[in-house]
Amino acid sequence: MSDDLLNAQNDLARALVEARLLLPSGVPGLFGRGTVLEDVIERIDALVVRTAEGDGARAERWRFPPILPRALLEKSEYLSAMPQLAGSVHAFDGTVQDHQKLLARVHGGEDYGDLQKQTDVALVPAACYPVYPIVASDGPLREGGRLVDVFSYCFRHEPSPDPARLQSFRMHEYVRIAPDADDARAFRDGWIDRGLLLLRGLGLAAERAPANDPFFGRAGKLLAVNQRDQELKFELVCPITSAEKPTALASANYHQDHFGSLFGIKNADGTTAHTACVGFGVERVAIALFKTHGIDVAAWPVDVRARLWAP
Amino acid sequence: MSDDLLNAQNDLARALVEARLLLPSGVPGLFGRGTVLEDVIERIDALVVRTAEGDGARAERWRFPPILPRALLEKSEYLSAMPQLAGSVHAFDGTVQDHQKLLARVHGGEDYGDLQKQTDVALVPAACYPVYPIVASDGPLREGGRLVDVFSYCFRHEPSPDPARLQSFRMHEYVRIAPDADDARAFRDGWIDRGLLLLRGLGLAAERAPANDPFFGRAGKLLAVNQRDQELKFELVCPITSAEKPTALASANYHQDHFGSLFGIKNADGTTAHTACVGFGVERVAIALFKTHGIDVAAWPVDVRARLWAP
């Protein structure tokens, strides 16, 4: 990382912490949200919901906890593509003697991971993952497809000094389970436009960019090329700590029949459903606002305040 | 577990799943929340907030993600008391060759926990934990103490067929950092009364009971006796799947100077602060309502509906 970038990240992090917008935990990328930051996040989220509803589409509103079945993470192929970002949950399951050993390690400041076992759960990497098996279990896709609204904490193991790159953050997603490719792609494209309008309406210099997922290893390079060549996923980016490397605030993703095939989501005629999703990283949008308009919310442009605090 | 209790749990779980209140994941104790359940949970939470504000007390509103620094979990002594419930987060940090090994294990359905390393983060066991180090870092406690409002997903590794015993659930807590013992104890006692009124006002057969924390092992038996003898923690319980073993919907806990000493929270005169907290398990309150008043929200008693959906 260049010194300039690191300094820009540290300057922003320091300002956010000093204003008690972020409450530091001592671990990079892990913060509490202060009163004012959380209020701004809630207003951003309400704007995302108003934008979705303005579209006239009625979504099923499901809420999932921040953990999901480990088997689902495995089935989704996330561990093939981005194993370094995934978190799995381990727990102690031993005897009183094992417990003594564990405590000795804790007190000695040693690793005790080998005294804990892999559980059946892992951390949610993206808010839409729990949706697909439930839709599949409902049987043939109803005519016209489905639209699901999800909002959950997601985990990415990427400790960073960048206050816009959190290990645990909330993603508000709309997931379209569509009968065919055209429908899914149109959903994604519509949200690219709608998302840009939403972000620019808040005074953010948002642009559309091809996705830039951090796929792992040599095979990952092919996945990245494929994702770009097929124009499957786009990000809505905005400069936060770097003008050259703007940060993704949202993404809109056409999955082809990837999840439809994996989970067996089929139309009544037996063809496989296509899916797409749009996700807003609400903490990132908030931090982009503080970076763009300043730390003092009361001094933000009148139209931005009006749009966020609309009744 | 008795057959009767297991059947009661399964009957309730089945009814909640059939009504799409709970969305099953395939893992015991892990569910999505359907549209109606989430709406009820939000209304319960709003009632908790109104009750707190009706008290006239103004809380600092902080929000924390579902993970916390592993060092904080260790310092808090949670791993001494309830190691079996704690979850720590492990992540892959290897080479391309290690990744091949990991994927082979995944595809073979084998454990791959040893190919992941303990990270610096763990799952939040109770919503108040992240509060104490932040209050301590602010220096001497301001006169009159502090009151913090937190609300987060908590994790307990206790897979169970009981739909009221979730592995991941939300807890709304008010944390009192008090100058002295009397203040902290009065806060806790006030909330026992207020909490019982709140729950009974929703038609729930709530009672106060001494806490019954599942402390681990032989040493844990002493902790449990101590907790009861000193009357430190009380639960507000209500029958859900068993009349003999009612479920805790909320708890009110006086910590003495446990957290004050551990984290170094001091008054201006150098004495150690005492703390107390009250926490509502919002999913549990909701499930108690469905068990008590039936699966159809529209058929709930008029006064219960009015209290929840108050403007």
Cβ partners under 8 Å of residue A288, min gap 6: A164, A199, A204, A238, A240, A247, A249
CA distance B7 to A301: 59
Q: Is B46 on the interface with A (CB under 8 A)?
A: no
Considering only CB atoms, B120 lies closest to which of A27, A61, A117, namely A27
The whole-angstrom distance between A55's CA and the closest CA on chain B is 20
Same domain, B140 and B224: yes
A295: number of Cβ within 10 Å: 14
Pair A245, A141 in one domain? yes
Residues A7 and A115 in one domain: no
Taking CB atoms and an 8 Å cutoff, what residues of chain A touch B117?
Answer: 111, 113
Q: What is the pLDDT of residue A141?
A: 98
Which residues, 6 or more positions from B258, have their beta carbon under 8 angstroms from its beta carbon?
B275
Angle, helices A282-293/A35-54, rounded to nearest 10 degrees: 110
Structurally, how many domains does chain A consist of? Answer: 2
What local confidence, expressed as pLDDT, does residue B250 receive? 98
B30 and B166 Cβ atoms separated by less than 8 Å: yes
B64 touches chain A (CB under 8 A): yes
Task: Measure the CA–CA gap between A208 and A188, rounded to whole angstroms.
Answer: 12
Q: Are A92 and A80 in the same domain?
A: no
Chain B partners of A23 at a C-beta cutoff of 8 Å? 62, 130, 134
pLDDT classification of A58: cutoffs 50, 70, 90 = confident
Q: Which residues from A are below 8 Å from B80, CB to CB?
A: 103
| Nearest residue in A to B96, CA atom | A217
Helix (H) or strand (E) holding B7: helix B3-18
The partner residues of B267 in beta bridges, in order of sequence, read B141
Indicate whether B47 and B104 sit together in one domain: no
Contact A117/B112, CB-based, under 8 Å?
A: no
Low-confidence ranges of chain B (pLDDT < 70): 1
Question: A31: pLDDT confidence band, cut at 50, 70 and 90?
Answer: very high
User: How many whole angstroms separate alpha carbon A268 and alpha carbon A142?
Assistant: 7
Interface check for A100 against chain B (CB to CB < 8 A): the answer is no
Average pLDDT in the A160-173 region? 97
Asked if A67 has any chain B CB less than 8 Å from its own CB, the reply is yes
Supply the range of the domain harboring residue B109: 88-123
The CA angle A56-A41-A129, to the nearest 5 degrees, is 65
Residues A150, A107 within the same domain: no
Dihedrals phi, psi of B178, to nearest 5 degrees: -110, 150
Residues A269, A165: one domain? Answer: yes
3-state class (DSSP) for residue B27: coil
What pLDDT, on the 0 to 100 scale, is given for residue B58? 87
Band of residue A56 on the pLDDT scale cut at 50, 70, 90: confident
The verdict on a CB contact (< 8 Å) between A91 and B102 is no
Q: Inform me whether the C-beta atom of residue B104 falls under 8 Å from chain A C-beta atoms.
A: no
Say if residue A251's pLDDT is above 90.
Answer: yes
What's the mean pLDDT when you consider all of chain A? 96
Chain B CB contacts of A218 under 8 Å are 96
> Which of A155-169, A217-231, B194-208, B279-293 is the least confident region?
A217-231
Query: Are B176 and B214 members of one domain?
Result: yes
pLDDT band at A35 (very low <50, low <70, confident <90, very high): very high
Same domain, A107 and A239: no
> Is residue A157 within 8 Å of B119, Cβ to Cβ?
yes
Pairwise CA distance, residues A142 & A144, whole Å: 6
The pLDDT of residue A222 = 85
Q: Give the C-alpha distances (Å, rounded to integers) separating B73 from A9, A58, A70, A211, B231.
A: 28, 42, 23, 36, 24
User: How many helices (DSSP H) and strands (DSSP E) are in chain A?
Assistant: 11, 12
Stated pTM of the model: 0.96
Question: Could you tell me which residues come within 8 angstroms of residue A97 by beta carbon, excluding any fewer than 6 positions away?
Answer: none
The closest of B206, B190, B286 to B246, measured between CA atoms, is B206
- Residue A260 has a pLDDT of 98
Closest residue of A to B42, CA-based? A63
* Mean pLDDT for the stretch of residues A163-167: 97
Give yes or no: residues B235 and B103 share one domain: no
Taking 80 as the threshold, does the pLDDT of residue A311 lie above it?
no
Is A298 touching B (CB cutoff 8 A)?
no
| A-chain residues near B83 (CB < 8 A) | 92, 99, 102
**Count of CB atoms situated within 10 Å of the CB of B147:** 17
Indicate if B292 and B161 belong to the same structural domain. yes
Residue A158 near residue A29, CB atoms below 8 Å: yes
The pLDDT assigned to A212 comes to 83
Model pLDDT, residue B255 = 96
A131 and A178 co-located in one domain:
yes
Specify the pLDDT at position B56.
Answer: 75
Instruction: Check residue B265 and give its pLDDT.
Output: 98
Residue of B nearest to A137 (CA): B24
Structure tokens at A180: 């065919």
What pLDDT score does A57 carry? 75
The CATH number given to whatever domain includes residue A37 is: 3.30.930.10
Summarised one tens digit per residue, pLDDT across range A101-143 is: 999 999 999 999 999 999 999 999 999 999 999 999 999 999 9
Q: Is A225 exposed, middle or buried (0-12, 13-18, 19+ CB in 10 A)?
A: exposed
Instruction: Kindly report, residue by residue over B145-182, the tens digit of the pLDDT.
Output: 999 999 999 999 999 999 999 999 999 999 999 999 99
